[in-house]
Amino acid sequence: MSYSREEMLRNNYETDNDYILDVLKEADDKIFSDMYGMIPEGNLLDLFRKWLSIRNKIEDIYIEQAYSNGFNAGAELARVQKRRGQ
């Protein structure tokens, strides 16, 4: 059974969001460096919009992960307290 490059990479991450976040960060870095190089060419606005879209997605994933981590920590605390009879 052979795996695609994406499948092999995805197997190295705990969640899909971790994988997506890494890919988006790479795209963010590339677009930002492209923007810097295109300032004299006048294509900056289109590239800036693409970069902004990726940055927004990254922030959404950070928020989702923080919410998930907080929810999981709260659920674990409730389980511990239940076991202790609190």
30-43 per-position pLDDT tens digit: 887 877 776 666 67
At 50, the amino acid letter reads K
pLDDT at res. 70: 76
Cα–Cα distance between 32 and 23 in angstroms, integer? 14
CA-to-CA dists, residue 77 to 13, 47, 63, 73, 80, angstroms: 25, 45, 21, 6, 5
**pLDDT computed for residue 66 by the predictor:** 78
Residues 21-77 pLDDT 10s: 888 888 888 887 877 776 666 677 777 888 888 888 888 888 888 778 777 777 777
For residue 83, the model assigns a pLDDT of 75
